[in-house]
Amino acid sequence: MPAKNKKNPAPKKKAVKRTAPPAKVQPAKAVQSVPPVPPVRAGSTPQLLRGMRDILPSEQKYWRHVYRVVDGIARSYGYERIDTPILEETSLFVRSVGKQSDVVEKELFSFLDRGGENISMRPEGTASLVRAYINHGMFSMPQPVKLFYIGPMFRYERPQAGRFRQHHQFGFEVFGDANPVLDAEVILMPYLFYKELGVKTMIHINSLGCPNCRPSYLNELMAYYRPKRSQLCEDCKRRLTKNPLRLLDCKEPGCVAIREGAPHIVDFLDDECKNHLMRVLEYLDELLVPYVLDPHLVRGLDYYTKTVFEVMLADETQAGQYALGGGGRYDNLVEQLGGRPTPACGFGIGIERAILQMKNQNIDPTDDFKPDIFLAQLGDTARRKAFLLFEELRGVGIKIAATFSKNALKAQLETANRLGAKYTLIIGQKEVLDGTVLIRDMESGMQEIVDYNKAASDMRKKLGLI
Ligand code: HAM
């Protein structure tokens, strides 16, 4: 039930209590907590769970690149990072994402914890951010409040290309402002993200209206589907009575074909919703964001009002069966979860899917760490001196690398070359005795000898740092 006390919010502590009534709803399937440990077969290696994957070192450059681009966009557009827990009360997702949504009905990782509490691993980030916005009284901060997050999400889906049971998302959410310019901003940002990666995308957009105009559309939708009930899949037969908007979301080929003739919600929007959509589209035109109106786009989560959108590959012949990102406006969700009425909108992007596109299109992110200096050493005493110099150089802000376990100079120079270091500093037996360091310019091959104690300041000069 929404909180009615709009004018005088209760102090923080009370608000927390009021906003989190005990959950009555059961998850789709709650497994018994603390199941007995299965017998362990000696010598067998535990395997990865289905739909889960390791992100190996060779892949990390893609992830670092994604984080860098996300961080740049967040700073430019003024979004602050927030991290919320992976585990939440199951009722949070049931009440926000929707009891009849696939995400809640079929895909939640839910269980009873040791205290008998019904909890779930988050399938998405928006619900947790709304909870955090309410719990921390963010309505008393200057609005809009702009937040972003990055982290793992869990959905018990059938694994296939680009679809995992643990995937990672970054998402941006803006609270406390109903202006359509913010809808345009949360569409622009994922578009810019992909543009910066080098992936061309197309935005699919629709409006789901509001509680004012949606009921008349739903009546029309049910009138269209009812005579076709026998041709629908079992899930859709249920959706027809329980949550008819979800009918448009079904991926079963038979239901997809029937959807073609379904009425369009845009034809039922009231003036305010129509106007809002027009303003969003005007902004997108001005910002040169390519989009298509997709009259049957409803998204898989129940909390949306007005704008909904998905980010697809521009080249549809290449497009997989999935969206590269999606989002929309959810003006009623904060109130629905017990907060003050607060308009909000946002988007989420699947990082694995973004990286898959980079790989498919041979987009190789420039590696972020390119050392200016590689420090090579020969022999045990040299290694000790090299360690000290390494830290001194690193401490004055020089980007430096070394492989202290290697002894052969050839192997060390090869690594220096591979990393693209500008200079290699070499400390061997002779340099230890002389108290010197040999500097090799990796491009020209020129070498010079400098005093060990002056090496740091000499290198800073060479690199233009002083
Ligand atoms: P969503 O469309 O359910 O929206 O998920 C966002 C994105 O996460 C998808 O477009 C896709 O790229 C990725 N994704 C989802 N499921 C998987 C999966 N099983 N494997 C790999 N990637 C996946 C949301 O979650 C909303 N919270 C977005 C939002 C934010 N709406 C408003 N604000």
Number of Cβ within 10 Å of residue 407's Cβ equals 15
- 86 alpha carbon, distance to own chain's centre: 14
pLDDT given at position 126: 98
With beta carbons less than 8 A apart as the criterion, state whether 297 and 205 touch: yes
Question: Is the CB of 124 within 6 Å of ligand 1?
Answer: yes
Q: Map the chain to HEC letters.
A: CCCCCCCCCCCHHHHHHHHCCCCCCCCCCCECCCCCCCCCCCCCCCCCCCCCCCCCHHHHHHHHHHHHHHHHHHHHHCCEECCCCCEEEHHHHHHHCCCCCHHHHCCCEEEECCCCCEEEECCCCHHHHHHHHHHCCHHHCCCCEEEEEEEEEECCCCCECCECCEEEEEEEEEECCCCHHHHHHHHHHHHHHHHHHCCCEEEEEEECCCCCCHHHHHHHHHHHHHHHHHHCCHHHHHHHHHCHHHHHHCCCHHHHHHHCCCCCHHHHCCHHHHHHHHHHHHHHHHCCCCEEECCCCCCCCCCCEEEEEEEEECCCCCCCCCCCEEEEECCCHHHHCCCCCCCEEEEEEEHHHHHHHHHHCCCCCCCCCCCCEEEEECCHHHHHHHHHHHHHHHHCCCCEECCCCCCCHHHHHHHHHHHCCCEEEEECHHHHHHCEEEEEECCCCCEEEEEHHHHHHHHHHHCCCC
Query: How many angstroms separate the CA atoms of 189 and 172, rounded?
Result: 9
| 262 vs 321: which has the higher pLDDT | 262
CA of 389 to the centre of ligand 1 (A): 47
Return the best residue to mutate from 82, 131, 170, 353 for the ligand 1 pocket (most ligand atoms within 8 A of CB). Answer: 353
Residue 44: which pLDDT band, with cuts at 50, 70 and 90?
confident
pLDDT for residue 21: 44
What's the confidence (pLDDT) of residue 209?
A: 98
Task: Give distance in angstroms: CA of 350 to centre of ligand 1.
Answer: 6
Q: Token pair 């000499």 is at which residue?
A: 458
CA 409 to ligand 1 centroid distance, Å = 49
User: pTM of the entire structure?
Assistant: 0.87
**Among protein residues, the one whose CA lies closest to atom 1 of ligand 1:** 326
Nearest residue (by CA) to ligand 1, atom 31, is: 327
Report CA(300)–ligand 1 centroid distance (Å).
9
User: Is ligand 1 within 6 A of the CB of residue 190?
Assistant: no
What is the model's pLDDT at position 22?
43
**CB distance 353 to ligand 1 below 6 Å:** yes
The confidence score (pLDDT) of residue 34 equals: 60
Is the beta carbon of 123 within 6 A of some atom in ligand 1?
Answer: no
Beta bridge partners of 219: none
pLDDT bracket for residue 37 (50, 70, 90): confident
Q: Going edge to edge, which strands form the sheet with 201-207?
A: 80-81, 145-154, 166-175, 344-350, 325-329, 305-313, 201-207, 291-293
Closest CA to 384 of 338, 343, 431, 350: 431
Closest atom, ligand 1, to C-alpha of 163: 20
Residue 104 is predicted with a pLDDT of 95
* Cα gap 347→125, rounded to integer Å: 10
| Residue matched to tokens 């012949």 | 317
- For ligand 1, say whether the CB of 110 is within 6 Å of any of its atoms: no
Task: Please work out whether the CB of residue 204 comes within 6 Å of at least one atom of ligand 1.
Answer: no
Give 65 or 367, the one with higher predicted confidence: 65
Q: What is the mean pLDDT of residues 35-50?
A: 84
Other CB atoms within 10 A of residue 88 CB: 17
Predicted pLDDT of residue 322: 85
Picking from 436, 448, 432, 383, the residue whose alpha carbon sits closest to that of residue 409 is: 383
Question: Which atom of ligand 1 lies closest to the CA of 325?
Answer: 10
> How remote is the CA of residue 437 from the centroid of ligand 1, in Å?
54
- Whole-number pLDDT of residue 5: 41
- The answer to whether 342 and 323 have CB atoms below 8 angstroms apart is no
167 CA from centroid of ligand 1 (Å): 9
> What distance in Å separates the CA atoms of residue 416 and residue 401, rounded to the nearest whole number?
8
Q: Report the mean per-residue pLDDT for the chain.
A: 91
Q: Tens of pLDDT along 263-286? A: 999 999 999 999 999 999 999 999
352 Cβ closer than 6 Å to some ligand 1 atom = yes
Alpha-carbon gap, residue 287 to 169, rounded angstroms: 25
Residue nearest to atom 2 of ligand 1 (CA): 326
Q: Kindly indicate the confidence band of residue 319, based on its pLDDT and cuts at 50, 70 and 90.
A: low
Mutate to test the pocket of ligand 1, among 322, 352, 355 (most ligand atoms within 8 A of CB): 322
- Smallest CA-to-CA distance from 405 within 426, 383, 388, 420 is with 383
Assign 441 a pLDDT band (cuts: 50, 70, 90): very high
pLDDT > 90: percent of the chain: 85
CA of 244 to the centre of ligand 1 (A): 21
At 421, the amino acid letter reads: A
Q: With a 6 A CB cut-off, is 339 part of the ligand 1 pocket?
A: no
CA of 192 from ligand 1 middle (Å) equals 17
* Alpha-carbon gap, residue 448 to 301, rounded angstroms: 65
Task: Examine the pLDDT at 182 and tell me if it is beyond 70.
Answer: yes
**Which residues fall within 8 angstroms of residue 236, CB to CB, at 6 or more apart?**
225, 246, 247, 250, 252, 255
Query: What separation in Å is there between the alpha carbon of 113 and the centre of ligand 1?
Result: 26
Tell me, in angstroms, the distance from the centre of ligand 1 to residue 349's CA. 6
Assign 139 a pLDDT band (cuts: 50, 70, 90).
very high
Contact 350 CB / ligand 1 (< 6 Å): yes
Q: How far is the CA of 325 from the centre of ligand 1 (A)?
A: 6
